[in-house]
Amino acid sequence: MFSSESNRSVDDGSGGPDSADLEIRPGGMLVQKRTDETNPSAVSIPTIKVRVKHGSSCHEIQINSQASFGELKKMLAERTKLHHLDQKLIYKKKERDSKEYLDVARVKQGSKIVLVEDILGREKRCLELLRNSNAEKSSKSLAEINLEVDKLAGQVTALETTASTGGKVSETDVENLTELLMMKLIKLDGIVAAGHLKLQRRVQVTRVQKYIEILDMLKHQSSKSSSNGAKLRLQQQENPTGHMPKDSKPMQKQRVHWKLENSVRKNPVMQQQQQKNSESVVVTTKWETFD
C-alpha cells in the first residue's frame, strides 16, 4: 500500500509532468512551469543593418528591426556627435518621427536613410536649455535671498520687541538694517523670473518692504523720544531747582511805575497836569434814582 502511494506521487505511469516541472501560482494552484518556448519575450527579434548617410559620411548601423527612429537617432549620436534632438531622419523622401517604428515604415536590411541636422530644433533646444539654466539660477538666488531675509527679519523683530517694551532702540542699528534690506531689494529687482518664480520674487519684495516700513516707524519713534529727552534736559539745565520761574512782568511794571513817579516829581509841569487830571475825575458811590 505504501509503495503504490509513492508511485502515484512520483509518476502515475501516464507520462504526466514530474514534480520538478510544477510550480505553485500565487492563488495556490499547482500548474506546470512555463518554459522559454511559451514565453513571448523569449522570441528572438531579427536585427537589420541600415546605411545612414550624413553629409559626406556613411554609417552602417545594426539595429533591432522593431526599434523606433528615436532609438536609431541615439545610436547615430554616438558616431556623429550630433545630439539626437538635433537630428532629422529622412526615409523614402519623408521625415520620420522619433516615435515611428522601423518595421512600420518598412525599413529593411540594407535600407538607406539620410541624416540631416535640424537647425531649428537645435535653436529651440538651446533656448530651452538657456531658459532652464536661468530658471535654476533664479531659483537658487531666491532661495539664498530668502535665507538672508530670514536672518534680518529676526533682528527686526528683536528691535520691535525692544521698542514695544519701552527699551531704547539704537538708530544706528535701524539704519544698518534698513540698508541691508534695501540691498536685498536691489538683488530681487535684478532676478529674471517667470511663472511661479516670478510670484516668489513678488512675495519676497513685499516681505522686505514690510520690514523696511517697520524700521522707518521705529526710527521715527526713536528720534521723537530723543528730541523730547533733549528738551527735558535743557529745561533742567535752565531751572536746576525744579521750581517754576516767577513772572517777571509785575516787577517790570513796578519799575516803570517808579520811574514815572520820579520823572513827574522832577518836572513841575507834568506834576500840575497830573493834579488837573486828578481833580477833573470825581468818583461817587451814590447811584441816581428815578421817580
- pLDDT at residue 35 is higher than 80: no
Other CB atoms within a 10 A radius of the CB of residue 170 amount to 12
State the sign of the Cα–Cα–Cα–Cα dihedral 86, 90, 94, 96.
negative
pLDDT in tens, 74-97: 999 999 989 999 899 999 999 999
Is residue 68 helix, strand or coil? strand
Which residue's entry shows cell 531622419?
A: 89
pLDDT, residue 268, reads: 57
Q: Where among 206, 235, 264 does a domain terminate?
A: 235
Over residues 269-277, mean pLDDT: 53
- On whether residue 284 sits in a domain, the answer given is no
pLDDT band at 23 (very low <50, low <70, confident <90, very high): low
- pLDDT at residue 197 is higher than 70: yes
Give the CATH number, domain containing residue 62: 3.10.20.90
pLDDT, residue 74, reads: 93
pLDDT, residue 255, reads: 58
Q: Is residue 186 located within the same domain as residue 229? A: yes
Distance CA 64, CA 89 (A): 17
Over residues 258-272, mean pLDDT: 56
- pLDDT at residue 180 is higher than 60: yes
- 78 neighbors 59 (Cβ within 8 angstroms): no
- pLDDT at residue 135 is higher than 70: yes
- On whether residue 30 sits in a domain, the answer given is no
pLDDT in tens, 138-153: 999 999 999 999 999 9
Q: Where among 117, 137, 160 does a domain terminate?
A: 117
- 201 neighbors 142 (Cβ within 8 angstroms): yes
Q: Where among 214, 235, 256 does a domain terminate?
A: 235
- Strands (DSSP E) contained in the chain are 22-24, 30-32, 47-54, 57-64, 87-90, 95-96, 112-117
Distance CA 14, CA 102 (A): 49
- On whether residue 252 sits in a domain, the answer given is no
Distance CA 134, CA 200 (A): 15
Which residue's entry shows cell 534632438?
A: 85
- pLDDT at residue 171 is higher than 50: yes
What phi and psi, each to the nearest 5 degrees, are found at residue 23?
-145, 155
Q: Is residue 84 located within the same domain as residue 181? A: no
**Which cell goes with 260?**
514815572
- 98 neighbors 69 (Cβ within 8 angstroms): yes
Distance CA 185, CA 177 (A): 13
Distance CA 70, CA 63 (A): 12
Q: In sequence order, what are the residues at sequence separation of 6 or more whose Cβ sits closer than 8 angstroms to the Cβ of residue 7?
A: 13
pLDDT, residue 18, reads: 58
Q: Give me the domain span that covers residue 110.
A: 47-117
Report how many domains make up the chain.
Answer: 2
Q: Is 286 buried (19+), middle (13-18) or exposed (0-12) by CB count in 10 A? A: exposed
pTM of the model: 0.49
